[in-house]
Amino acid sequence: MMDVNVYRVPMAGPDDVSELEKLIDDGTVNPFEICAIIAQTEGDGYSRGYASLCFELMLSEKMKMPRAEVAARIPMLMIGLTGGLMSPHYTVFTRREIEAPENSEKRLALGIKITRVLLPEEYGTAVQVRLVAEAVREAMAEAGITDVADVHCVEVKCPNLTAARLADAQSRGKTCCSTNFAEAGSKSKGASALGVALGLGEIKEEDVTDEAICRNWDLYSKVASTSAGNEQVACKVIVMGNSTKSVSKYHIGSGVMQDTLDVDGAKAAFKSAGLRFDEVIPQSERERIATVFINAGADAMGSIRGRRTTMKSDYLSGYQGIFAKAVINAIVGAMVGDTMILASAGYEHQGPLGANLVAAIVKAD
């Protein structure tokens, strides 16, 4: 049986890993049981690498293990760029095997898989879709999740095309999905999201073509949140769901906000996770929330409910992803009275265009 714990703590800067250090020092967290760290880091894109490095350094010391080994062992997803009321923080997941009878209730279970290293020409293609799908299925099995309906959040970190990788592919006579790095990055994220959809049966095998990626928006996953990084060479997949193989004191749920004002979608997510409320989440139930992950999609749209926004036209439109995250953080934050919740921007097959995916982990009763 698996026991999974969840620790959400603030960070004072991209280099501040002191809260986890304290949890380790006081015996709350056994660093060898850490199975994933998901952070919302401030600053620009470089802060992601900075934060990762700081985690690796601290853990390397605590675990008396070379830094590279820590990096290989613990997947770290750094979601960069904050704005508005977003509060930099990270969530640490621990997992351990314990002797116990199978649970009568389903509880939080995590499965983690890393695909093989992808060739640059495979980024953003059907090959990537299928590799991610396979990793999702394996991670589900690892987590002891048998029903795809029990999967509520799949975080994928996948590779970005870079100048060096493009050159490598071209030197071997291969064509990449785009020579525009922004577009290639989108397709890598899109392929990862479709991989989740395929792995969970949300789309069919025959839907998966190179052409469909970032083009056929009718295909999507309701639980995928994907991001791409120049430092990645394979796809890291973290599947979160509920399983009778887990004795965790936590439970996860999810929901789709059809657009950023769809408060009912967010409520459904919290109810799916096990919170009890009618319209407003009372303080006592709010306290059961361990962490919240949102995939924001407002930056995909230039309007909402017939009202034009300036998301795509304004002189700040280069930062539209940050605004998309800031507004969904504010809306969901207002529902739970706390803005230390994670928002990641990504519209590529991560829910229908313009939707937001909400996953919540709460303490079981």
CB of 229 to a second copy, least distance (A): 12
Q: Which is nearer to a second copy, 197 or 298 (CB)?
A: 298
Residue 280 binds to a second copy (criterion: CB under 8 A): yes
Catalytic residues: 157, 227
Q: Say how far apart CA 106 and CA 167 lie, in whole Å.
A: 48
Residue pointed to by tokens 């600053």: 43
- The contact pattern for a second copy, residues 169-208, with x = CB under 8 A and - = no contact, is ----------------------------------------
Q: Say how far apart CA 92 and CA 352 lie, in whole Å.
A: 29
Phi then psi for 303, rounded to 5 degrees? Answer: -160, 165
The token pair that represents 84 in the structure block: 């508005």
Residue 15 binds to a second copy (criterion: CB under 8 A): yes
The token pair that represents 49 in the structure block: 């690498």
- Please pick, from the candidates 64, 171, 305, 365, the single residue that binds a second copy as defined by CB under 8 A: 305
Residue 268 binds to a second copy (criterion: CB under 8 A): no
Roughly how many angstroms between the first and final C-alpha of the chain, as a whole number? 20
- The contact pattern for a second copy, residues 236-265, with x = CB under 8 A and - = no contact, is ------------------------xx-x--
Residue pointed to by tokens 């969970």: 200
Residue 10 binds to a second copy (criterion: CB under 8 A): yes
Residue 315 binds to a second copy (criterion: CB under 8 A): yes
Residue 46 binds to a second copy (criterion: CB under 8 A): yes
Show contacts of 307-312: CB within 8 Å, 24+ apart. none
Order across the sheet with 342-345: list the strands.
250-257, 356-363, 289-296, 342-345
- Maximum C-alpha span of the chain: 61
CB of 265 to a second copy, least distance (A): 11
Task: Please say whether the beta carbons of 177 and 123 come within 8 A.
Answer: yes
- Which residues from 80-119 bind a second copy, rule CB under 8 A? 82-88
Given the rule CB under 8 A, which of 167-175, 201-209, 233-241, 323-331 is the region that contacts a second copy? 323-331
Find the Cα–Cα–Cα–Cα dihedral 142, 10, 259, 321, rounded to 10°.
Answer: -100
Residue 287 binds to a second copy (criterion: CB under 8 A): no
For a second copy, the binding residues (CB under 8 A) are 10, 12-15, 42-47, 49-50, 53-54, 57, 82-88, 260-261, 263, 278-280, 298, 303-305, 307-311, 313-319, 322-324, 326-331, 333-334, 337-340
